[in-house]
Structure 1
Amino acid sequence: MKKKAITVLSGGLDSTVASAKFREDYQIHALTFNYGQKSAEMEIKSAKAVCKELGAEHTVIELPWLAELGNSALTSEESIPEPEDSELDDIESALKTAKSVWVPGRNVVFTAIANSFAEAENASIIIVGWDLEEAVTFPDNSKEFLEAFNTVLEVGSFDVIKIEAPLIGMNKNEIVEYGDSIGAPMELSYSCYKGLNYHCGVCESCMRRKRAFKNTGVEDKTVYSEDS
């Protein structure tokens, strides 16, 4: 009988690859959060498709109150930033973009809820897609955040539950290569901040995705806007 795992699955590239790593050894229950983000409908659609491919259970959790906190471009009328290619690796520019799409406490909330499910379902791990490239500008993707949250779970739970972040030391190029090597259904993933029926190709998330496939030579089956 397989062990149980909870995965925080946005339907994006990173969480899809991270979840796929554990599909052979774990019975996976994926959680997708609708927190009022512009891309919620497409993220949920993608996550469902990924779960079908991985044979995972899927639950959508509604968090409408989270959209009301802060003024993130993901959840408000603020425009989604469209950085230049040259700005992706410029720390100052990337940090500015990151702050504009920051949702207060998002990964803290998601991971805490995942822990509740893990305790209730006797799951031994929580899978997350946190990675090295995102950690440069998003502190809740960092190795330090991972280690700190695992310490919280050690202290604050009767059960032995560990957060597994298999991509924590990888950049996007490495994630795409790794995803390709394990047969992760990356073509089903959705990364766009704008929530369009296709990838806009110009938001930061789309640009990092597109660049990684191009850099690695892995076939990119993503449909991008003709204007990108």
Structure 2
Amino acid sequence: MNLKPRAISVLSGGLDSTVATTYLKDHYQIHAVTFNYGQRSAEMEIKSSQAICDALDIEHTVIDLPWLAALGNSALTSQEEVPQIGMDQLDNKELCDQTARKVWVPGRNIVFTAIATSFAESEGAKAIIVGWDQEEAATFPDNSQGFLKAFNKVLEIGSPDEIEIEAPLINLEKTGIVELGDRVDAPLHLSYSCYLGGEEHCGTCESCMRRKRAFYKSGVVDRTVYSD
């Protein structure tokens, strides 16, 4: 009999959610949910998420949100060109703000976390696990400390159950996330970060660049296959 409390993990298959889920897997009985919202990388994200759940021996559900792709004009869900960025530009706040706007999906984390709340209430889960982190928060406000505190306040007021969002990476940069993932034996090699959705990581989109830099700076062996 599993006496651990239940938790819902919002698992994209990327580095952040993979490490966050692995970090808390011994504390909770986890049900991971992955969203297909029409993103270019949906097939690979789902494939990666399933492999991660198999490795961690946790339940996995894919949720289709076809309507989300039709909103806005994100390069992730349209034919707009995905911006590329050099390794030496990753800390250029003004430039990264511009690239973030091009890949912004309207209300994505609000929608994902709200749906995860529905799962949590229906399953009696005590927590929602997310991979929000400090590096992403620099350009994506829905990864920030303020967003985390505000959403937990919404749950406190709006849910009859005691549910808390757990964001164990909220104070970490990508390098620290890779280091933590290595320490907790997260299946980093199964994670998928590329915006373009190819079998191999493109190696040139901003997400790939941040992944490559994190592995390089951490000294952890990067088993990712990059096209470039």
Note the alpha carbon deviations across 1:171-194, whole angstroms, 9 max, x for none: 001000011011011110000000
Determine the C-alpha separation between the residues in 1 that align with 2:177 and 2:76.
24
The reply to whether residue 13 of structure 1 matches residue 15 of structure 2 is yes
Q: Give the gaps of 5 or more residues in structure 2.
A: none
* Count of residues paired in the alignment: 226
- RMSD (Å), alpha carbons: 0.5
The correspondence of residues 2-151 of structure 1 with structure 2, limited to 5 A, is 2-151=4-153
Given the two structures, how large is their TM-score scaled by the length of structure 1? 0.98
Question: Residue 17 of structure 2: SS of its match in structure 1?
Answer: helix
| Aligned 8 A contact 2:14 2:193 in 1 | yes
Alignment match, 1:191: 193
Determine the C-alpha separation between the residues in 2 that align with 1:100 and 1:157.
34
Alignment match, 1:156: 158
Q: Give the gaps of 5 or more residues in structure 1.
A: none
Moved more, 78-87 or 165-174: 78-87
Note the alpha carbon deviations across 1:167-226, whole angstroms, 9 max, x for none: 00000010000110110111100000000001000000000000110111101010111x
Note the alpha carbon deviations across 1:124-155, whole angstroms, 9 max, x for none: 00000000000000000000000000000000
| Aligned 8 A contact 2:12 2:45 in 1 | yes
Q: Among all aligned residue pairs of Structure 1 and Structure 2, give the percentage whose two residues are the same amino acid.
A: 66
Amino acid across the alignment from 1:145: F
The correspondence of residues 176-215 of structure 1 with structure 2, limited to 5 A, is 176-215=178-217
| Aligned 8 A contact 2:87 2:213 in 1 | no
Task: Give every structure 1 segment of 4 or more consecutive aligned residues whose post-TM-superposition deviation is greater than 2 Å.
Answer: none
Determine the C-alpha separation between the residues in 2 that align with 1:25 and 1:169.
20
Note the alpha carbon deviations across 1:18-65, whole angstroms, 9 max, x for none: 000111121110000000000000000000000001111000000000
- The alpha-carbon deviation at position 86 of structure 1 amounts to 1.9
Amino acid across the alignment from 2:124: N
Given the two structures, how large is their TM-score scaled by the length of structure 2? 0.98
Amino acid across the alignment from 1:147: K
Determine the C-alpha separation between the residues in 2 that align with 1:215 and 1:2.
35
Amino acid across the alignment from 1:73: A
